[in-house]
Structure 1
């Protein structure tokens, strides 16, 4: 914000926070440093408990983050493992350790730091300036109160302070950087000789017996998965909302009874000149300097922006002539705010003391508070009224829907008729689809739905599945309409494919044998005529020039005697030989690359320091993990 209360985050801080603050829903530091005593505890850190509720919230958010990161490849079942759950719990333990240490050291993010961060969130800005109205609307949309959100943010900032203090210790000196850069930038001139499977394809003969043996020994490769078609119905809050209408009278009545919710708060725009006061600056001298600037403004009030650029010590606003933009009440420290809201437009204040130092303030514009007209807020009102009504209807209908699909298990038609739903029909659904296939199944692409659909109750007893929540406020029940058991593709159908695959394998094996034999001869000093490729320079910094396996072999090679020879298996079963002809250093190294390398290694050292710090905390606190509860809890 305005007074530069929070320094810019450093990369190392962001790296550490990503490791220890899976963006969990937070409950505030106070709840972490006391014994919650609610429900079954999954772990304890000293006297502080980690409850099932806290773990469940962390687990849900972690799953959502993976789903967003992995897209169509996300497989909920694949990542729901004991190891994954233990990893999330350990992250919560690390987080708790840091918060306990922060509380012990009385480390906490202050109100000014909160204002700084909140005012810079783009979604809360209007024309580049913080908007209290947007802030309140955003919180309401998330179902959060202002204290809840600010407690969460305060905790994040507290963790940042602690992590930054540790992460800043990762410093790499120039000598070490130069040595690492020398190693990374070393160039080796090489020629390549390839042995590809295609060169040996004519030598490969595959008989029918080998093909049949492969078919018999690898039945899973030729299996047609168990699959079913389903009829299903969906009950959702959104569908109920879409059927509702609200009258003009209802909208007007709601508006009149809730007018206070649709107020635009008064906002003011101000500029200031700040003379800082801190432990290194004399308060009397700072006050005298501010008084001198104020006297200069009395003689030339039009020079405010010019003097702000010359004297103001607020880096966030000085270059803009001291302009702070529009803000409402509650966004500035109290003495500053009180002064601003007493000024008339164009008026310049006296010298105002705040916790930051001395301010001279000019009010440059005002936006009066106003009632938002009904026409402007009508869409919001209609949506809210529909949602309220639909939420009541859904709460009642959900229970009846769940009971009906269970109590009348032989058909979904009763719920179709009772709730005016559409009977929907699927194509063939595999029992265990891969992540890509799962993502194409829409609302049926839910592991719990598929598990229920392929259960004995659904297949043998021909019953409806239970009502399953496939998304917030969305219930689905299905029943099997058609079924095909797992089967194997016949040998005649897959024979040609098996034969081609075996030929490729054997040709690749011959290519490797030939390459290794030539390599052994070269290393023994028997250089035979070969069609080596053109000479090219490679380095670790330019590793994309060659496959990773080739690059590793080249830079592991002993180059005391040149030429040196190495081999590596590269893409498609090809075996490549490399003749290392010359080793050297580039004439110059780009300064940006050197600086980037130094930052990278500083980050690595900082991470090591941080890991050691966490290990130290784990040794100082008594940590108990209830693995039985973690393993037995259904997910």
Structure 2
């Protein structure tokens, strides 16, 4: 959810990184209060409204997020349901409630905080420092103004204050944590016995009438879905990239107008001797020692490396004679950096104090800042110009491509020739594949593509399908070239399969019945003659030891009298019996585990507090949702 992105400054910073690829739905608190936007209202929150335009922006952003997470397996049509649309709208309502509360509470983010957060965004830094050029380029790539982005960031920081005030206050009491920890760390010593279906194989005979009855009652199970072979073409941004080559003049013009991107900052190489210091008393002793070493260095500057190996307490550089290699500004602590960049080559510093202690520095080399040559920068300039040109071409070509596919429906050849595309052929595509099997079809594994392929127009008239977006900046159009209707496999082919299925089911029923019968006998005090498997310990903390159903049965068992017996269905069929022999708790629990559990439970309480806070806001403000407009809107 949106408020997850404003929990702390790190997440706020990541909002800009997401902005590079995802559109934002809103521009600041003011845009809500002024009720901007056009079109019918999908909802009203207090005196404000949520319009179709605002919903569409959020809808596209959510689709982009899902596409990034799921990749090729993302199905746009899976979001086009009344339930999915209502979920997005409810998220907008929650955001609106928070913004109204922030506005009424006069919460806001000052200019100093805003500047500080933006300056720390890694994507906007160059050589460890904020770059205005990168900032402006990133905004331009997204089509945003500086004012728009800063309004969004100010809103996020404002919401952080509100969300943090509620969501970060969950406190888990010591007694509750101790009780949870006791439950979590409890161990039960068990032995097990399994009734397997195979033990009852001789007791099961499947008759022909039973097979025929199952076949008749489950004909759909033996249907072979209709299938089609298609030819298809792909128009993609990546495909157009190969067709674009910027001219020398374009490369040169770009280089000359963006030289700030190719400026390499000055770097310096230094060696140092570090005398560590911590605390006032230790610092005085360290300073005295550093002053003695400085005198030695000043007396014999040529022996700096030898003296560094002898006296320096920096384990990373002492054995290398104090050498730190080349570095630029922003890579060292400030007092150290200021001193290095104030020295002349081969000059010695005096004592330089930093948070680590006292440094004696020698500047050994200077690598002046320089502009990268055009020849050096050419490959990345060509790539950027190619991508820009291909993006423009794709935007222009997409509409023409779609129109040609529709207006010349009897062949893909005209579109293929115009855009220099290869006509490809598929294997047999089955209708009605489950989502988990679609990925095996590659770019044809798209529900919208398959729906178009198996439409009446495609099958009966052999016309082109519409151009379908199967991935970002990728359009696919297909045409059926061969078709097989759905059919049902005859009984003779599936008889053995049905017989094996019925046999396995009957064996599993007998195994379960035998297991449950034996469990009742043991629980009623019958003599235990089972040859149990070796004893082992299980706990809730390591749920991988046993199937979930077995673990639940073991820890729900009444253990006031031991041994205790429980049972559970076994994975793959059959029935498991468990004999609980002892119950124990660790004598001592690691304090780190206790703290981690307390923090985790505190987070859960904070989330519950925040959910309750949102529920309270929904009661405080009048909320009207136009469900009919939401569900009838085509997407």
1:609 correspondence with 2:604: no
2:477 maps to what in 1?
A: 477
What is aligned with 2:50? Answer: 50
Whole-angstrom distance in 2 between the partners of 1:395 and 1:71: 22
Residue 553 of structure 1, CA deviation: 1.4
Matches within 5 A, 1:314-353: 326=329, 345=342
- Pick which of 449-458 and 410-419 moved more: 410-419
What displacement does 1:582 show? 2.7
User: Measured at CA, do residues 158 and 474 of structure 1 come closer, stay the same or move farther in structure 2, by a change above 3 Å?
Assistant: same
2:529 maps to which residue?
A: 529
Q: Which moved more, 1:133-142 or 1:601-610?
A: 133-142
Distance in 2 (alpha carbons) for counterparts of 1:609 and 1:227? 53
Report the TM-score, using the length of structure 1 for normalisation: 0.75
- Rounded to whole Å, the distance in 1 between the matches of 2:412 and 2:72 is 30
The alpha carbon displacement at 1:457 in A equals 1.1
Measured after TM superposition, the shift of residue 484 of structure 1 is 1.2
The aligned residue for residue 246 of structure 1 is 246
Counting only pairs closer than 5 Å after superposition, residues 380-395 of structure 1 correspond to structure 2 as: 381-383=381-383, 385-387=385-387, 389-390=389-390, 393-395=393-395
Q: Aligned-pair distance for 1:191? A: 2.3
Residue-by-residue CA offset, 1:322-354 (whole Å, 9 max, x unaligned)? xxx857xxxxxxxxxxxx99xx958xxxxxxxx
User: Alpha-carbon deviation of 1:380?
Assistant: 5.0
CA distance in 2, matches of 1:375, 1:147: 37
Measure, in 1, the Cα distance between the counterparts of 2:47 and 2:148. Answer: 24
Give a deviation string over 1:349-390, Cα, whole Å, max 9, x none.
xxxxxxxxxxxxxxx999999876544554454445545555
When residues 389 and 579 of structure 1 are mapped into structure 2, their CA distance, relative to the original with a 3 A threshold, is closer
**Alpha-carbon offset, residue 130 of structure 1:** 4.5
CA distance in 1, matches of 2:453, 2:441: 14
**Cα deviation 1:87-140 (Å, max 9, x = unaligned):** 222122112211221222222233443444444444444455544444444444
Mean Cα deviation higher: 84-93 or 180-189: 180-189
Shift of 1:618: 0.5
Structure 1 residues 472 and 235: CA distance shift in structure 2, 3 A: same
Q: Could you tell me how far apart the structure 1 residues matched to 2:51 and 2:366 are?
A: 49
Greater shift after overlay, 595-604 or 508-517?
595-604
When residues 427 and 210 of structure 1 are mapped into structure 2, their CA distance, relative to the original with a 3 A threshold, is: same
- Following superposition, the deviation at residue 218 of structure 1 comes to 1.9
Q: In 2 relative to 1, CA 474–604 (structure 1 residues): closer, same or farther, beyond 3 Å?
A: closer
Distance 1:124 1:82 in 2: 40
CA distance in 2, matches of 1:369, 1:26: 42
Structure 1: give runs of 5+ residues left out of the alignment.
Answer: 1-5, 270-299, 304-324, 328-339, 347-363
After TM superposition, the structure 1 stretch with the greater mean CA deviation from structure 2, 441-450 or 623-632, is: 441-450
The residue that corresponds to 2:306 in the other structure is none
Query: Structure 1: how far apart are the matches of 2:465 and 2:151?
Result: 42
Q: Distance in 1 between matches of 2:135 and 2:164?
A: 28
Contact persistence 2:267–2:369 (CA under 8 A): no
Query: How far did residue 516 of structure 1 move?
Result: 0.9
Q: Cα offset for 1:166?
A: 0.7
In the alignment, what sits opposite 1:593?
A: 593
Count of residues in correspondence between the two structures: 543
Inter-partner Cα distance in structure 1 for 2:143 and 2:264? 21
**Aligned partners of 1:63 and 1:76 also within 8 Å:** yes
Partner of 2:297: none
* 1:63–1:418 distance in 2 versus 1, CA, 3 Å: closer
Distance of 1:368 and 1:437 partners within structure 2: 58
The whole-number CA distance in structure 1 between the counterparts of 2:99 and 2:527 is 66
Alignment partner, residue 150 of structure 2: 150
Cα distance, 1:234 vs. partner? Answer: 2.8
Whether the 8 Å CA contact 1:43–1:626 is kept in 2: the answer is yes
Q: Counterpart in 1 of 2:628?
A: 628
Which residue does the alignment assign to 1:505? 505
Q: Hey, what does 1:489 align to over in structure 2?
A: 489
1:14-163 alignment runs, 5 A limit:
25-70=25-70, 74-163=74-163
Q: Confirm or deny: 8 A CA contact 1:262 1:371 kept in the other structure.
A: no
Change in 2 beyond 3 A, CA 1:458/1:548 = same
Quote the RMSD (CA, aligned, Å).
3.9
**Gapped runs of 5+ residues in structure 2?**
1-5, 269-290, 295-327, 331-336, 344-362
Alpha carbons of structure 1 residues 103 and 59: separation in structure 2 relative to 1, 3 Å: same
Residue 561 of structure 2 is matched in structure 1 by 561
| Partner of residue 444, structure 2 | 444
Deviations 1:71-92 (A, max 9, x none): 5654444454322222222122
Separation of aligned partners in 1, 2:581 and 2:380: 73
Q: CA deviation at 1:190?
A: 2.5
Aligned-pair CA distance for 1:493: 2.1
3-state secondary structure, aligned to 2:242: helix
Structure 1 pair 171–23 and aligned structure 2 pair: CA distance change class (3 A): farther
Q: 3-state DSSP class of the match of 2:510?
A: helix
SS at match of 1:230: strand
Q: 1:428 to 1:57 in 2, by over 3 A?
A: farther
Q: 1:267 to 1:611 in 2, by over 3 A?
A: farther
Counterpart in the other structure of 1:462: 462
Q: Is the 8 A contact 2:223 2:487 kept in 1?
A: yes
Superposed CA deviations along residues 202-244 of structure 1, whole A, max 9, x for unmatched, are 2111112222222222223222222211122233344344223
Asked whether the equivalents of residues 251 and 382 of structure 1 are also in contact (C-alpha less than 8 Å), the reply is yes
Q: CA deviation at 1:512?
A: 0.9
Which stretch shows the higher mean deviation, 152-161 or 404-413?
152-161
1-side partners of 2:140 and 2:596: how far apart?
43
What does 1:296-315 align with in structure 2 at a 5 Å threshold? none
Relative to the length of structure 2, the TM-score reads 0.75
Contact 2:201 2:507 in 1 (8 A): yes
